[in-house]
Chains A and B, each alone.
Chain A
């Protein structure tokens, strides 16, 4: 519990500037066609960066494509099928793009017509320009790590938990890797690893991370969440 890491954890936040690409889909076929050609950054924006934009409340589905299909086209089947795709199941964003296209293609092959927005809004393809912002907060012990989690800007939770998985820390994310390697607390790392990333807003995720740390820091404290 009182281990001091050789390499401190440095909390890094991030900001985004949303860019309009000028491509929009008014039906599911157009969505599929445009998915083929938009920059890969746009796939990232609508699947991963989604979480940065949902700091306090989760939307009904965990990516923009699913949300649009379900709420604007009112095609709940496609919304549900796209919503269950786990972006971290894929080694590359191109693989994820292929999976999204395959789901829409399969869905359309079962229908006689192409569902389109009637009263709803078109889908506007976007991408983000991101700026990394070192917060200056560092942690060397679990207590410092827990306190940092509690007060750092929510974008740092996104950066280390979601974005890290694309940067190269695999499914684990920065928190798990540091706790495992630097604090040498494999059980705690395992608890953090089992958090389901798709059921939390960033603030809910922050609470969950702090709660898990507290189960170690505060004797007798038990996690009451079901994911660990």
Chain B
């Protein structure tokens, strides 16, 4: 059963839920239509699943529509996705046409009768061309488009400039645009399976099932097997640490269906791990939320040694469990980890190894960092803060 707003009183900072009720009075009865391209899977769907019912509890008429498209359309938007994040792609005129055509067709069936229409990511961005301009249109970009393939961005930009505003997860992810651009961090749901409290017995049971002994300090990285997450770098750091501190390393992640490189990275990781019995490479199926929760709670230190990153919410997930995190100096990791206070950002294998050793040998520092990390997340990266952002956005745009 989905949690209700009142359930968040126990996890949100003092006064937050009351403030949400008060803030919502400013936009009570107004309507908000979210549009994206998938109901299940991925961070956007995950957050909308929670935000939409909570907004309704607060008196906002929030709805969520999903555009329909052919396999060809989603192949095109996957190429767009990669191109906007800087990967060279071959995109033909026919592909641009397919994108436009699917947006035009969807616009015929969608009701755009809302005070605010929040369009998520590039897939449905062209809807604005065909929808009525009654409410405010806002484009919510969850991608890092700071270094896009120019041709694709120029194409998409033609639509984006027609919106009333755009939202990015970080200032560094944005582009120069003639419309107001706002920053909104993503968030985690502290009451979801991935983040809710788990008892020690439950954690132990799951670790037993995964074949992880609890006999020594555990280092953990949870992420897709992707070269930008640098799992091989994590193994190298572990080997440096291992000379002085006995510990285990768990690399847990999945393979995205649309990521052929993932398999090659996984093979490289397995080769690098060799026969070391203290390195556990776990291939987790999608929706292994409880397993990830248990692994994070069992870890001594959590690592997210990305060299390139979107927002990297696994960092907040681990911090919420009171763990100090050592992360790469990339993307949203730098706003989640307050250097020296809630963890460390590092730029090299050696840097990661040094910080791991320091924390393993100074458990009181690790405990303090973990406790501070949890409080930092409580105030900045929980869904309650995200709700505040949505209501504030609606309030601000209603005044314009």
> In the complex the two chains form, is A131's CB within 8 Å of B392's CB?
yes
| Cα A5 to Cα B150 with chains together (Å) | 63
> In the complex the two chains form, is A19's CB within 8 Å of B182's CB?
yes
| Cα A135 to Cα B372 with chains together (Å) | 27
Interchain CB contact (< 8 A) of B168 among A20, A55, A57: A20
B287, CB-defined interface residue at 8 Å:
no
> In the complex the two chains form, is A57's CB within 8 Å of B339's CB?
no
6 residue pairs, one from A and one from B, having the closest CB atoms: A153-B15, A124-B171, A153-B19, A20-B181, A18-B183, A15-B392
B172, CB-defined interface residue at 8 Å:
yes
| Cα A94 to Cα B119 with chains together (Å) | 38
Residues of chain A contacted by B5 (CB below 8 angstroms): none
B366 to chain A: closest CB distance in Å?
16
Instruction: Pick from B87-95, B153-161, B373-381 the stretch touching chain A.
Output: B373-381
| Cα A150 to Cα B14 with chains together (Å) | 8
| Cα A17 to Cα B398 with chains together (Å) | 13
| Cα A124 to Cα B372 with chains together (Å) | 26
B290 to chain A: closest CB distance in Å?
28
Known contacts A15-B389, A17-B396, A71-B339; 5 additional CB pairs below 8 A are A20-B181, A55-B380, A56-B379, A131-B392, A135-B15
A-B contact pairs, 14 of them (CB 8 A): A13-B19, A15-B388, A15-B391, A17-B182, A17-B392, A18-B184, A19-B180, A56-B379, A121-B334, A131-B395, A131-B396, A135-B19, A135-B22, A154-B15
| Cα A177 to Cα B334 with chains together (Å) | 39
B219 to chain A: closest CB distance in Å?
24
Range of interface residues on chain B?
A: 35 or more
> In the complex the two chains form, is B176's CB within 8 Å of A154's CB?
no
B309 to chain A: closest CB distance in Å?
13
**A120-135 residues at the B interface, CB under 8 angstroms:** 121-122, 124, 126, 129, 131, 133-135
Question: CB-defined interface of B170-206 with A at 8 Å, one 1/0 digit per residue?
Answer: 0110101100111110000000000000000000000
Asked whether A19 and B181 contact (CB < 8 A) given A13-B15, A154-B13, the answer is yes
Instruction: Enumerate chain B interface residues (CB-CB to A < 8 A).
Output: 13-16, 18-19, 22-23, 26, 168, 171-172, 174, 176-177, 180-184, 329, 334, 338-339, 341-342, 347, 372, 375-376, 378-380, 388-389, 391-393, 395-396
B308 to chain A: closest CB distance in Å?
14
Residues of chain B contacted by A19 (CB below 8 angstroms): 180-183
**A48-81 residues at the B interface, CB under 8 angstroms:** 55-57, 59, 71
Interchain CB contact (< 8 A) of A131 among B16, B23, B176: B23
| Cα A124 to Cα B172 with chains together (Å) | 8
> In the complex the two chains form, is B183's CB within 8 Å of A153's CB?
no
Give the total number of A-B pairs whose CB atoms are below 8 A apart: 94
> In the complex the two chains form, is A126's CB within 8 Å of B379's CB?
no
A6, CB-defined interface residue at 8 Å:
no
Residues of chain B contacted by A152 (CB below 8 angstroms): 14-15
Question: CB-defined interface of A20-47 with B at 8 Å, one 1/0 digit per residue?
Answer: 1010100000000000000000000000
Pick from A13, A17, A24 the residue with the most CB of B within 10 Å. A17
| Cα A59 to Cα B184 with chains together (Å) | 20
| Cα A158 to Cα B106 with chains together (Å) | 45
Residues of chain A contacted by B396 (CB below 8 angstroms): 17, 129, 131
Pick from B168, B372, B396 the residue with the most CB of A within 10 Å. B396
Residues of chain A contacted by B16 (CB below 8 angstroms): 153
| Cα A203 to Cα B378 with chains together (Å) | 12
A156, CB-defined interface residue at 8 Å:
yes
> In the complex the two chains form, is B347's CB within 8 Å of A119's CB?
yes
A168, CB-defined interface residue at 8 Å:
no
Residues of chain A contacted by B376 (CB below 8 angstroms): 56-57
| Cα A152 to Cα B172 with chains together (Å) | 33
| Cα A119 to Cα B378 with chains together (Å) | 30
A169 to chain B: closest CB distance in Å?
22
A199 to chain B: closest CB distance in Å?
15
Residues of chain B contacted by A135 (CB below 8 angstroms): 15, 18-19, 22
Residues of chain B contacted by A131 (CB below 8 angstroms): 23, 26, 392, 395-396
Asked whether A20 and B182 contact (CB < 8 A) given A57-B338, A57-B375, the answer is yes
Interchain CB contact (< 8 A) of A17 among B15, B26, B334, B393: B393
Interchain CB contact (< 8 A) of B171 among A16, A20, A119, A136: A20
| Cα A19 to Cα B15 with chains together (Å) | 25
Pick from A133, A134, A135, A151 the residue with the most CB of B within 10 Å. A133
Pick from B23, B171, B342, B347 the residue with the most CB of A within 10 Å. B171
| Cα A56 to Cα B35 with chains together (Å) | 35
Asked whether A136 and B378 contact (CB < 8 A) given A19-B180, A19-B181, A55-B13, the answer is no
Residues of chain A contacted by B342 (CB below 8 angstroms): 57
Which residue on chain A has the smallest CB distance to residue B388?
A15
Asked whether A17 and B389 contact (CB < 8 A) given A131-B26, A135-B18, the answer is yes
| Cα A71 to Cα B181 with chains together (Å) | 26
A155, CB-defined interface residue at 8 Å:
yes
Residues of chain A contacted by B18 (CB below 8 angstroms): 135-136, 153
Asked whether A133 and B19 contact (CB < 8 A) given A19-B181, A152-B14, the answer is yes
